[in-house]
Amino acid sequence: MDQDVQNFLDYIVNVNSGSEDTRKSYGRDLQRYLSYLKQQGITGWSDADRTVVLGYLNYLRTDKQFSDISNRSIARNLSALRSFYRYLNEMKIAEGNPFTAVKIKVEKNRLPDYLFEDEVDTLLGCFDLHDDMGYRNRTIFETMYGCGLRLSEACNLKIGDIDFSNRLLRITGKGSKQRLVPFYDMIGKLLRNYLNNIRPRYLKEEHDYVFVNKNGKKLTPRGVQYLLEKTVLDNNLPMHVHPHTLRHSFATHLLDKGADIRIVQELLGHSNLSTTQIYTHITSEHLRESYDKAFENR
């Protein structure tokens, strides 16, 4: 069972485009769950049923070492375990997912208007890449995050705007202003497979828009917003996300990693630098939060 956990952690980084931060947080969650199963004498993933899962939740809430754990942290833990069981199902290691129907109420605190990298990975990891609609949805939101797109820009993206050889998107933004935005390898793989194997199954009349609904028509901004809201709700994710949150996260993560603010301005398509500078305040707050968390026990 320990090897299954390690294989999954490798999978989310090497195959599912997860970050090392996600690997660490998922690793902690999975080791905690595995430890509980061993305490209960459970030696197979498929032996864990709903009763075991409810017992695990009670364990998290009552054991002294987890006395301060919040509903938000437990919800994130459950999200990681749902993803793990989806992997076990895919690899034919286990049948069923005992965490699918288990949800907890999350506090209604207003969250920052951006996501940490492991939260982005958690969100993107919710989509079933063996399901056509799941694959399409993952492709939409991975592209929106990885390229910092506005909702309207994603909906209006056309096949002719994608340069696979140079890994660039030509984006038409506000005021019909165009910009070039690079995309990373995972986005290229998702887009190429979606366009070749999934989009044609829904297309009824030829058009150039990339993202289509089940009737083959261009996805609307409201449709994409609904898909995101439904994903968060169905997976009981401990986050408040709207489409622009992905764009905010893109900019914040670039600045956190040392990108020049004028480069970020160009990638976002901002006419004025002052518009981009709002993200420097976000990253300052992120820095302070990270520092406080690192030294909270000193």
Secondary structure class of 115 (helix, strand, coil): coil
Question: DSSP per residue over 258-291, as a string?
Answer: T--HHHHHHHHT-SSHHHHTHHHHHHHHHHHHHH
3-state secondary structure of 168: strand
Q: Which of 24, 174, 192, 214 is catalytic?
A: 174
Of 23, 248, 270, 286, which is the active-site residue? Answer: 270
What is the C-alpha end-to-end distance of the chain, expressed in Å?
36
Which stretches does DSSP call E strand in the chain?
162-163, 168-172, 178-182
With 0-12 / 13-18 / 19 or more C-beta atoms within 10 angstroms meaning exposed / middle / buried, residue 200 is exposed
Pick the catalytic residue from 86, 150, 199, 286: 150
Question: Between vectors from CA 53 to CA 239 and to CA 81, what angle results, nearest 5°?
Answer: 45
Q: How far apart are CA 273 and CA 4, in angstroms?
A: 48
Q: Are 141 and 124 in contact (CB under 8 A)?
A: yes
Active site residue 201: no
Q: Is 33 a catalytic residue?
A: no
Active site residue 170: no
Known catalytic residue: 244?
yes
Of 170, 179, 242, 244, the active-site residue reads: 244
Please give the order of strands across the beta sheet that includes 162-163. 162-163, 168-172, 178-182
Residue of 145, 194, 279, 286 marked active site: 279
Is 248 a catalytic site residue?
A: no
Q: Looking at 247, 248, 253, 286, which residue is catalytic?
A: 247
How many residues are present in the chain?
298
Is 270 designated active site?
Answer: yes
Q: Which residues are catalytic?
A: 150, 174, 244, 247, 270, 279
